[in-house]
Structure formats: structure tokens, C-alpha cells
């Protein structure tokens, strides 16, 4: 179980890092990594206010990416260094809250900045 858990933690770290990278790239260059920051059905050409959407999305995506990396690292520590016990499960709860928050905010951004 430990090896599978470690593999999952590494995948979580890499996924979170990629989300954070996509957010930073968005801020620095204005490029939206559509495969990461937009749903497959979203057409960027239908955005009413692309700059507004980018400014709306950046801090939310960055926060989600950073905490996801943090959670993945905590998982590696939990598996390989020292058992975090209830702290780890608390972090899992926080991660779930952040994921729900992000997707609720994302939907608000789509409604606000996209054509209906």
C-alpha cells in the first residue's frame, strides 16, 4: 500500500504544480492553458471579457495549485517520514473544501465572463 500511496502523492504534487504553473503562466504571459484551466467544452472565443476572466481565475487557480502541492508533500511525509495521523485527515478535509470552493468559483467566473 505504501508504494501506491507514494505514487498517488507524487501524482498529486505534479498535478498541483502543473495547476500552479498554468496560473503563473496565465499571469505572466496571459496564456490560458485550456486543458488545465478551462473545460473541454469551453470556447475561449465566446468569452465576453477575457482579461477580466484571467484576473478572476488567477488567484483561485494559484491557491488551488499551491495547496494541492502542499497536500501531496504532506502525503509523502505521512507515508515515508512520520505518520501525521489526524493532521493528515484534516488536510484532506481542507483539500476537499478548496476543491469545492475552486469549482464553485470557476462556475461563477464562467457565468460572469462567458456568453450565454
Residue with cell 469549482: 103
2-29 and 50-80 helices cross at what angle (nearest 10)? 160
Three-state SS string across 13-48, please?
HHHHHHHHHHHHHHHHHCCCCHHHHCCCCCCHHHEC
Per-residue pLDDT reduced to its tens digit, 18-63? 999 999 999 999 888 877 888 777 888 888 999 999 999 999 999 9
In this structure, of 2-11, 44-53, 70-79, 95-104, the range with the lowest mean pLDDT score is 2-11
Q: How far apart are CA 6 and CA 76, in angstroms?
A: 6
Per-residue pLDDT reduced to its tens digit, 88-110? 999 999 999 999 999 999 999 99
CB atoms within 10 A of CB 16: 21
Compute the Cα dihedral for 74, 96, 16, 26 and give only its sign: negative
pTM of the model: 0.88
Where do the domains of the chain lie? 2-113
| Count of helices and strands (H, E) across the chain | 4, 0
Assess contact for 14 and 74: CB atoms under 8 A: no
Amino acid at each position: 500500500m505504501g508504494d501506491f500511496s507514494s505514487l498517488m502523492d507524487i501524482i498529486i504534487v505534479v498535478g498541483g504544480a502543473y495547476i500552479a504553473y498554468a496560473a503563473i503562466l496565465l499571469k505572466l504571459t496571459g496564456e490560458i492553458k485550456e486543458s488545465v484551466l478551462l473545460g473541454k467544452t469551453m470556447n475561449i472565443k465566446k468569452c465576453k471579457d477575457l482579461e477580466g476572466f484571467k484576473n478572476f481565475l488567477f488567484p483561485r487557480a494559484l491557491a488551488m495549485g499551491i495547496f494541492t502541492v502542499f497536500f501531496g508533500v504532506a502525503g509523502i511525509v505521512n507515508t515515508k517520514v512520520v505518520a501525521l495521523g489526524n493532521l493528515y485527515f484534516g488536510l484532506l478535509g481542507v483539500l476537499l473544501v478548496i476543491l469545492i470552493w475552486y469549482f464553485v468559483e470557476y462556475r461563477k467566473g464562467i457565468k460572469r465572463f462567458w456568453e450565454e
